[in-house]
A and B are shown apart, each in its own frame.
Chain A
């Protein structure tokens, strides 16, 4: 009996269904038309969201992946469709987000000839993908997609690009889908030996002032529960990187705040006072460490990461363990002694009090009838208990969100960390809402960043996606202005914005909205936003020249925190 044949394009759709994909974000064009044609027959099984720009598609896929822990999927056409994905690929790569992008390519006979809409997608995306591959035969489609999903989500996750020539999409092939379980040159699950853990536990048990730093690795390995148990047994003060926020609830007694340039005073300063520093699933980014030559020099460092290349890359570790966070925490749990560290935790609390007193002084300088960014985030926390999904863009409001919204639930903190991509929040929030339809999703953006992917309001309208949006409008590229004020003698070179009528724009997309500027209106407006049945846009006019503090200037040490 002869096996039935299908087209390569049909194989793409079938393979995605075999991978249990339910949602795809994309934008069609010439080179991917056969795939869109095959999709036409499967619209009931595969929900395709038509975005307004391919950058919107990939950020949406990232938001989807971050909230759901699954792989986000993108369709784009060749040439400009593919190049519009580049920022999102770089973002997903540096933030370890599992995304699979399926891109159409010119027919294989034309490869390398500068054909219409031909770009060397493999070459361009190579340094910003975990893996990429060009498919020129229909028979390669199923195994390549299987491999792509396996690579995107295993080990340290990341984006994968599959570039499929048009002839491969048209050609006939048999289809027999086998999930990929192994790639011989790739070892995603480290097999750490016990010795490292024993040494680590010894250091932790003996330490007077041990300090735990967590990163997104906890979230990616779904180790939140193991983390909580470990922290409660060891009594460790615990601070988080930007992307780790939410892994340990903000309201947990051992949670000591955020690390880094705009992190918390005590969280940073104590790095240089602890005797043992335990880092799990974080990579000592320069925004976290400040000057590395003056970072935790007094401490014995234990570094645990799933990516061996991160160990000893920035900070030399006394004990470096190549392991998955969940496995590491489970193993350590059996080796550590129960401890309290009450006094040491108290030092963090005192640091926090000091910070708050100082910051309150800054606040007094502002007109109390006007709204400061932090007010909005505090009200949002009060009204939601810190249990909704908050997607922030990049800039002052991002840092203020991280500092003032209390992430009390895992997988609810979505922001562009490593790349700092303005324009991320709106599309990522769209993806997050689709990845977790039952949760409230609020995008927080600045007036500038919101306009970087403002076209995605069209996606919200067409697919009726209930995303809530807050624009914190200071009529400035606020973060850049802050630096100009502090380090460039207030020479505000091209940072002031003349903005459109945001609420009017939303209304043209059939999205209700409101604009407020007085403190007295704040609470009610946020209630209205949260209670709106679908999408809603709230524009909040905030203080124009507010600065984010604390701040560790570039090149300073984590001990040199500026509070005003």
Chain B
């Protein structure tokens, strides 16, 4: 049975690393749900957080093939229960809407916050699970969303050390 996995891939910071990593997934015909890259807690060691649906058996093979890459240090795979994770979304709506109390209430109830108020538009930020982000999107939709963007997942392990 397929379920959602989050892979943390620790790598050197070298040109082409992203392609090397995604190649492993491409070869096995796997579609990624999200991908986030940044420097890790260790300087010059990068962390790729990759989310996709798979089986435990396939995960073991993927780990082997990723760790075979010369510039990959280590790969960890986690199920959602084993990690603390979040995504971040930004929503742009018309400033006029602020006069509508309903919108303010939605923002408050969703535990989102207003980042910027411009003459014409406001930017709303929401950090949370994908379901929460989607639910806020649905609620704001009827008022008109000018622009929307969502990040990939960031995650840390619930165990003390990986």
Give the docked Cα–Cα distance between A553 and B60 (Å). 30
Interface 1/0 per residue, A119-149 and B, CB below 8 Å: 0001100110011001000000000000000
Which of A126, A309, A312 has the most chain B CB within a 10 Å cutoff? A309
- Is B135 part of the contact surface with A, judged by Cβ < 8 Å? no
- A132 and chain B: residue at smallest CB distance: B16
Stretch with Cβ within 8 A of A (4 or more), from B64-72, B84-92, B115-123: B64-72
Is B70 a contact partner of A312 (Cβ separation < 8 A)?
no
- 10 A-B pairs with the lowest CB-CB distances in the bound complex, closest first: A309-B64, A131-B70, A309-B68, A185-B73, A186-B70, A309-B65, A185-B71, A127-B23, A185-B12, A308-B64
Beta-carbon nearest neighbor of B74 in chain A? A185
How many angstroms from the CA of A378 to the CA of B70 in the assembled complex?
44
- Nearest to A309 among chain B residues (CB) is B64
**B130-159 with Cβ < 8 A to chain A:** none
Q: Is the CB of B68 within 8 A of A308?
A: yes
Whose C-beta in chain B lies nearest to the C-beta of A314?
Answer: B61
Closest chain-A Cβ to B22's Cβ sits at a distance in Å of 10
List 13 other contacts, CB 8 Å, given A185-B71, A313-B61: A122-B15, A122-B16, A126-B20, A126-B23, A131-B70, A131-B71, A151-B70, A183-B70, A185-B11, A307-B68, A309-B64, A309-B65, A312-B61
Interface flags, A271-310, vs B, CB<8A=1, else 0: 0000000000000000000000000000000000001111
Q: Which of B55-112 contact A (CB under 8 A)?
A: 60-61, 64-65, 67-68, 70-73
Interface residues on B, range: 10 to 19
Kindly state whether residue A537 has any CB partner on chain B within 8 Å: no
The reply to whether A311 and B64 form a contact with Cβ atoms under 8 Å apart is: yes
Q: Which residues of A contact B72 (CB under 8 A)?
A: 185
Distance in Å from the Cβ of B19 to the closest Cβ of chain A?
A: 6
Question: How long is the Cα–Cα vector from A130 to B20 in the complex, in angstroms?
Answer: 11
Contacts of B43 in A (CB 8 A): none
Give the contacting residue for A313; candidates B11, B12, B16, B64; CB below 8 A: B64
**Judging by beta carbons under 8 Å apart, are B15 and A134 in contact?**
yes
What residues make up the interface of B, taking CB atoms closer than 8 Å to A?
Answer: 11-12, 15-16, 19-20, 23, 27, 60-61, 64-65, 67-68, 70-73
Could you tell me the distance between the alpha carbons of A468 and B23 in the complex, rounded to whole angstroms? Answer: 41
Say how far A187's CB is from chain B's closest CB, in angstroms. 9
Bound Cα distance from A185 to B61, whole angstroms: 19
Q: How many residues of A contact B (CB 8 A)?
A: 19
Chain A residues in 8 Å Cβ range of B70: 130-131, 151, 183, 185-186
Interface-centre pick from B12, B23, B64, B73 (highest chain A CB count, 10 A): B64
Interface residues of A (CB under 8 A from B): 122-123, 126-127, 130-131, 134, 151, 183-186, 307-313
Residues on the B chain within 8 Å of A126, using CB: 16, 19-20, 23
C-alpha spacing A512/B70, complex, angstroms? 47
Across-interface contacts of B64 in A (CB, < 8 A): 308-311, 313
* A321 vs chain B, min Cβ distance (A): 14
A184 to B74, CA, bound (A): 11
Q: Once bound together, how far apart are the Cα atoms of A186 and B67, in whole Å?
A: 9
Question: How far, in angstroms, from A151 to B60 measured CA to CA in the complex?
Answer: 24
Q: How far is the CA of A123 from the CA of B20 in the complex (A)?
A: 9
B61 touches A309 (CB 8 A): yes
A-B contact pairs, 18 of them (CB 8 A): A122-B16, A126-B23, A127-B27, A131-B70, A131-B71, A134-B15, A151-B70, A184-B12, A184-B73, A185-B12, A185-B70, A186-B71, A307-B68, A308-B64, A309-B67, A311-B64, A312-B60, A312-B61
Contacts of A123 in B (CB 8 A): 16, 19
Query: Measured between C-beta atoms, what is the minimum distance from B39 to chain A in Å?
Result: 15
Residues on B with beta carbons closer than 8 Å to the beta carbon of A308: 64, 67-68
B12 / chain A contacts, CB cutoff of 8 Å: 184-185
What is the CB-to-nearest-CB distance from B44 to chain A, in angstroms, rounded to a whole number?
A: 10
Give the residues in chain B near A151, CB-CB below 8 Å: 70
A310 and B67 alpha carbons, distance in the complex (Å): 12
Which residues of chain B come closer than 8 Å to A122, judged between CB atoms?
Answer: 15-16
Chain B: minimal CB distance from A469 (Å) = 37
